[in-house]
Amino acid sequence: MSREVRRLSLGARLALIWEVVTGGLIELWAHKLRSILTLTLLMLGVFALVIMTSVLDGILDKVTTGFSGMSWDGTAVIVPKEAQTSEEQKRFAMSPGLRYEDLARITLANPKVLAFLPRAMKRTSVRSLSGMERCSVTGVTHDYALFMNRPIGSGRGLTEDDQKRRSAVAVVGSTLGSKLFGGADPVGRDVILEGVPFRIVGLQAPIQIFNDEIWYDANGFQIPLETYMDRIDTTHALTQVAVKLRDKDDLSEISAALLGRVRQAHHGIEDVEIKDLDTEAARSYARFLDEMRGWRIVLLSLAATVLLVGGVGVLSVMLISFSDRRYEIGLRKSLGASDHEIFVQFLLEAAVLAALGASVGTVAGSVVCRALSPMFPWGLVVNPFGLMTAWIVALGLALTFGLYPAIRASRLSPMEAMR
């Protein structure tokens, strides 16, 4: 004869759920060591997931912001071309290369060009009160910092008057300035470059380093281009000429015109090429995303492994609980509890175990993120998606591994359980 299925009201169901939750907590408290070991595994998995997602998302957000703020959109760069054949080597040897004297022709006014930004660089030694240091010296125009997003942290930047006067003034990069002067403000101090004393008039603000140019700027000095040509490199060689366009759709047209100008200046020899910085940035950003994807897979796999071990711990705890509570299960069934109610009871106890572990891991991860945030240049913000993912995975594993003990408990007959 089949048992009549009881129909419980909503209040009765809520009371039953509360009884199961409190009973699960009492069961955990009764076996403290076993419960702590299981909760620790779940807590570590959630903790690792929260920390990893926060760190990775912080890095991704900072780098994405940095790429968007690099002012590379619609920028073409004229750079010396590498000879690929012996014929090109002979032909290029007949040209003086990209030089300061070419600027008069290259920078002829064009309504589609916003600015021309020549750049010349040399690695050298700098002497200061703290001793000698190897660094880079870069000659730039006064508007280089504005158009290439090199903000000034203290002091001032280079001016048009500095160029006209060929003044021996310099802006020091943030990394080099901290290294030479121990974190003190370097503005107003003197350094010796190539035997020439230079007065530091500005300190570059810290900037995220994504390419070689930014690294050299952060670890070197920027001086007026004319001063560089007169006192640092008398060969007048240019490293590159950046061209900021008003509309990036004009890149092909402007590139052809610029190559034609250089060809005329170099007696028909085309020993330079045009690089599209926007394309270069997109390529670099795609490589960065690939690397981040790989790191995310590795780190999340580690966190998932810890959570999986925690799920196995839940399985063992629930199996032990099933063995210890056979008499209780039989007694509840003999008093009218259905298989479904016993099944739900064990699943809810597994969920309570997972929720406790996830709660401790979430709080610990949030506290650690807040404590470590000042140590990261971009800060650490707890990712809500990471929290939600950690909770879903922890509860999902607990319910999955708690399913087998719950099925065994629900199928246990009262007579067998109470023997």
Asked whether residue 238 carries a pLDDT value surpassing 90, the answer given is yes
Output the pLDDT for position 66. Answer: 61
Nearest Cα to 409, choosing from 314, 332, 355, 311? Answer: 332
The reported pLDDT for the residue numbered 162 is: 95
Considering only CA atoms, which of 404, 413, 410 is closest in space to residue 318? Answer: 404
pLDDT of 282 over the 70 cut:
no
Q: Residue 204 class from Cβ within 10 Å (0-12 exposed, 13-18 middle, 19+ buried)?
A: buried
Crossing angle of helices 326-334 and 339-372, rounded to 10°: 130
Averaged over 150-177, what is the pLDDT? 93
What is the per-residue pLDDT for 73? 64
> Which pLDDT band, with edges at 50, 70 and 90, does 348 fall under?
confident
pLDDT greater than 80 at residue 173: yes
User: What pTM value is reported for the model?
Assistant: 0.59
The mean per-residue pLDDT over the stretch 308-333 comes to 75
What gap in Å lies between CA 13 and CA 348, rounded to an integer? 13
Mean model confidence pLDDT for the chain: 80
Give the residue with greater pLDDT, 256 vs 334. Answer: 256
Cα–Cα distance measured from residue 173 to residue 152, given in angstroms and rounded to the nearest whole number: 9
The neighbour count for residue 97, using CB atoms within 10 Å, is 17
Grouping H, G, I as helix, E, B as strand and the rest as coil, residue 328 is: helix
